[in-house]
Amino acid sequence: MQKALTLADSTVGKKALLAVSGLVLFGFVLGHMVGNLQVFLGPEVFNGYAATLKGNLPLLWGTRIVLSVSVVTHIVMAVQLMGRSSKARPVGYRKKDNAVTSYAAITMKLSGPLLFFYIAFHIAHFTAPGLALGNYEHSTTDVYANFVSAFTIPWVTALYVIAQLLLGLHLYHGAWSLFQTLGLSHPRYDGKKRLVAQVFALLIMAGNVAMPIAVLVGVIPPAG
């Protein structure tokens, strides 16, 4: 009996799973940024927001589970597809001149793993017990203080800013390309896809970069 074709057998299916999991992560990144922007509203609001998140266990664990599944799916699919791709062309070109592809698209397989390491670092950095970078104690309640202390160190801020640039690139290609991958295309709207992706990627990048820079230049002050 021959094996039946399944979605995850096919490159198109794998790519769709990559896109759908990417979409979930995209949503998370957006929510994460919007939530964190509350840091501009001061310690009470920000710490209150953090407490609310932590207090709602179903939401917290629901999110954690969905995110973990998405991250694992995203990585497994990406690794499988990349493996396939490198096997598909065992002998490369001596000279190759790409005509239309974008920098973001070519660097996906680089920005992806780098973002993975960045995210691992970021989680380690801000969750208990916290990496003791700089001169502060990680607090489980005063998230605002953690935040400000972390980004007063210029190289940490620089690291985050660089990571956000990578994230922006990754999101830009991912955002418009997922329409294509999932077959959501229509000639009337296709022309706008790249623009929408650019705006989204820039917004997220700008929002995420604004926070650490604001700390560094003192716009977000240490809690009084």
**Contacting positions for other proteins (CB under 8 A):** 2-7, 9-16, 81, 84-85, 87-102, 105-106, 108, 173, 177, 179-185, 187, 190
8-state DSSP, 125? H
Distance CA 145, CA 148 (A): 5
Q: Which is nearer to other proteins, 91 or 128 (CB)?
A: 91
Question: What are the contacts of 216-221 at 24+ separation with CB within 8 A?
Answer: 216/151, 216/152, 216/154, 216/157, 219/40, 220/39, 220/40, 220/147, 220/148, 221/148
For residue 81, the minimal CB distance to other proteins (Å) is: 5
Both tokens of residue 162? 């660089």
For residue 172, the minimal CB distance to other proteins (Å) is: 12
For residue 79, the minimal CB distance to other proteins (Å) is: 13
Q: Which is nearer to other proteins, 78 or 150 (CB)?
A: 78
Q: Which is nearer to other proteins, 56 or 185 (CB)?
A: 185
Residue for token pair 């294509």? 180
> Interhelix angle for 154-181 vs 108-126, to 10°?
130
Distance CA 116, CA 113 (A): 5
Q: Which is nearer to other proteins, 103 or 155 (CB)?
A: 103
Q: Which is nearer to other proteins, 2 or 135 (CB)?
A: 2
